[in-house]
């Protein structure tokens, strides 16, 4: 397949011309949603896994941590490789790794091997999410890129929230292995859909360096102070969403005593909040002003949500404050991503890798912290800390940008 790259590109070019932005939007959105589905869809099956392997809950929870670690680390590999080899070949390599690892998960005879295969599954899934951003940044720039990233982020924001609900529905008709079979079929479907995706990084724009030298691609990215600040801003904004995902089942079902159906409804409403924030951010003309207002809103409502949790407020007050927190978080995601990737032209795949890895690594840290001790208080502390960090980072960014304009 890869030896006939020219003929494939001609075929994909024709298909892309027929489908235009809609084809790219559907394909890149599916690629972006793929990784959150991998980490979250089987969450309702965790108790069943513990029984099946006759192991502790902590060992089963390691399958979550290792998959997220795989997604974080995998992006650091696939991003730089795509700057050297183009986007298509690393993308299909990641899908093959993912499918093989998923088969391993289905037939794993013990929990240790399942944890290992989950790490490999995360590594494979990382390729789709990092390359989706890189391909979008190859095709578009400026306001067009912001609009496109906002539409993709709307899907990405819904995926980690909708995935556990989908997993719960699947458990009504199958077991935990059926969920992994579904994940494998989803991966195969997305890979087939990506077959006609046009190569977005032509040969003359690829980095000319030995494979071993791809590690050097990180140096200019990590030295770009403003880019790293935008990545940090995105990471801690996303951390608020991760804290919500990790703690919400215990907060709403155990503390407030809502039914699984009511909890699913709360999930759905907050998914809408994320989507509204994503789409609103693309309609505003000035990304820097939009980011400013998004950060202010995220800071204020995160603090309000933290207070409602800390003081055990009525459930409807918690739900309203969470809705607006996630709305402003949703607005922050695409803008900070756009402004970050716009700062790196040559090593864009590497920049996308660092961005994605940082987001998931911060998520790996935040999710268990939100569950330490009394969960309402711990979640409130995590959200407050993230909000303060976001505000400080944005103040530094604003100061740097002001110096540039003077």
Give the tens place of pLDDT for each residue, 207-262. Answer: 776 766 667 778 888 889 999 999 999 999 999 988 887 777 778 877 888 876 67
Best-predicted range by mean pLDDT among 11-15, 58-62, 340-344?
A: 340-344
Residue 115 CA: distances (Å) to CA of 6, 71, 111, 130, 357: 40, 14, 6, 23, 20
Could you tell me where the beta strands, DSSP code E, fall in 140-230? none
Best-predicted range by mean pLDDT among 29-38, 136-145, 187-196, 344-353?
A: 187-196
If one compares 6 and 295, the residue with the highest pLDDT of the two is: 295
Provide mean pLDDT across the span 340-366: 82
d(CA 376, CA 307): 10
Q: Percentage of residues in the chain with pLDDT exceeding 90?
A: 30
pLDDT of res. 1 = 42
Provide mean pLDDT across the span 366-394: 89
pLDDT of res. 17 = 45
Q: Is the pLDDT of residue 313 over 80?
A: yes
Q: In degrees, to the nearest 5, what angle opens at C-alpha 345 toward C-alphas 343 and 351?
A: 70
Q: Is the pLDDT of residue 323 over 90?
A: yes
pLDDT of res. 18 = 41
Q: Is the pLDDT of residue 146 over 80?
A: no
CATH code for the domain defined by 214-406: 1.20.1250.20
Mean pLDDT lowest among 50-54, 89-93, 194-198, 344-348: 344-348
Provide mean pLDDT across the span 17-24: 63
d(CA 199, CA 215): 23
CATH code for the domain defined by 1-141+163-197: 1.20.1250.20
Cα 380–chain centre separation: 22
d(CA 216, CA 348): 14
Residue 338 CA: distances (Å) to CA of 160, 215, 355: 21, 24, 11
Q: Percentage of residues in the chain with pLDDT exceeding 70?
A: 89
Mean pLDDT of the residues in the chain: 82
Mean pLDDT lowest among 141-150, 174-183, 328-337: 141-150
Cα 188–chain centre separation: 20
Q: Is the pLDDT of residue 29 over 70?
A: yes
Q: Is the pLDDT of residue 9 over 70?
A: no
Element (H, E) at 31: helix 5-40
pLDDT of res. 390 = 96
d(CA 110, CA 53): 6
Provide mean pLDDT across the span 26-47: 79
Q: Is the pLDDT of residue 311 over 90?
A: yes
Q: Do 72 and 126 meet the contact criterion of CB atoms below 8 Å apart?
A: yes
d(CA 152, CA 149): 5
Q: Which residues contact 249 (CB under 8 A, 6 or more apart)?
A: 263
Sign of CA dihedral 311, 312, 318, 322: positive
Q: Same fold for the domain at 1-141+163-197 and the one at 214-406?
A: yes
Q: Which residues contact 303 (CB under 8 A, 6 or more apart)?
A: 383, 384, 387
What's this model's pTM, rounded to 2 decimal places?
0.72
* Residues 396-406: b if buried by 16+ CB within 10 A, e if exposed: ebeeeeeeeee
Note the helical H segments in 140-259.
142-170, 176-194, 218-223, 225-248
pLDDT of res. 4 = 43
* Residues 155-183: b if buried by 16+ CB within 10 A, e if exposed: bbbbbbbbbbbbbbebbeeeebbbbbbbb
d(CA 394, CA 396): 5
Q: Where are the domains of the chain?
A: 1-141+163-197, 214-406
Backbone angles phi, psi at 189, to 5 degrees: -65, -45
Q: Is the pLDDT of residue 355 over 70?
A: yes
If one compares 138 and 237, the residue with the highest pLDDT of the two is: 237
Quick one: which of 87, 120, 74, 69 has its CA closest to 206? 87
pLDDT of res. 160 = 66
pLDDT of res. 6 = 44
Mean pLDDT lowest among 64-68, 260-264, 377-381: 260-264
Tokens 């980490």 -> residue: 39
pLDDT of res. 260 = 65
Q: Is the pLDDT of residue 13 over 60?
A: no
pLDDT of res. 24 = 80
Provide mean pLDDT across the span 196-209: 77
Confidence band of 58 (pLDDT split at 50, 70, 90):
low
Q: Is the pLDDT of residue 361 over 60?
A: yes
């Amino acid at each position: 397949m890869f030896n006939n790259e020219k003929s494939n590109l001609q075929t994909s070019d024709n298909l892309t011309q027929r489908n235009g932005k809609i084809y790219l939007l559907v394909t890149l959105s599916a690629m972006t949603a793929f990784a959150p589905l991998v980490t979250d869809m089987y969450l309702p099956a965790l108790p069943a896994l513990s029984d099946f392997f006759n192991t502790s809950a902590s060992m089963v929870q390691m399958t979550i941590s290792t998959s997220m670690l795989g997604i974080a680390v995998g992006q650091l590999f696939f991003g730089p490789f795509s700057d050297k080899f183009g986007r298509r070949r690393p993308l299909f390599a990641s899908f093959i790794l993912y499918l093989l690892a998923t088969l391993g998960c289905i037939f794993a005879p013990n929990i240790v091997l399942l944890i290992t295969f989950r790490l490999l599954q995360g590594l494979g899934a990382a390729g789709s999410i990092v390359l989706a951003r890189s391909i979008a940044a190859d095709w578009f720039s400026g306001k067009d890129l912001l609009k496109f990233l906002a539409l993709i982020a709307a899907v990405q924001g819904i995926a980690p929230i909708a995935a556990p609900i989908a997993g719960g529905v699947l458990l009504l008709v199958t077991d935990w292995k059926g969920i992994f079979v579904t994940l494998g079929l989803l991966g195969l479907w997305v890979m087939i859909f990506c077959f006609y995706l046009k190569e977005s990084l032509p040969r003359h724009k690829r980095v000319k360096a030995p494979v071993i030298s791809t590690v050097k691609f990180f140096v200019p990215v990590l030295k770009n102070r403003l880019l790293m600040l935008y990545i940090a801003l995105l990471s801690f904004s996303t951390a608020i969403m991760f804290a919500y995902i990790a703690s919400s089942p215990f907060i709403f079902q155990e503390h407030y005593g809502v039914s699984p159906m009511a909890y699913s409804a709360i999930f759905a409403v907050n998914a809408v909040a994320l989507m509204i924030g994503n789409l609103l951010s693309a309609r505003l003309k000035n990304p820097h002003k939009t980011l400013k207002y998004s950060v202010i809103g995220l800071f204020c409502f995160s603090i309000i949500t933290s207070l409602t949790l800390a003081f055990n407020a009525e459930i409807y007050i918690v739900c309203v404050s969470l809705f607006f927190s996630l709305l402003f978080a949703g607005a922050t995601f695409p803008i900070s991503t756009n402004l970050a990737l716009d700062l790196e032209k040559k090593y864009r795949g590497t920049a996308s890798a660092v961005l994605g890895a940082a987001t998931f690594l911060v998520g790996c840290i935040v999710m268990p912290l939100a569950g330490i001790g009394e969960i309402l208080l711990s979640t409130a502390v995590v959200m407050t800390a993230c909000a303060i960090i976001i505000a400080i980072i944005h103040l530094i960014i604003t100061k740097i940008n002001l110096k540039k304009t003077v």
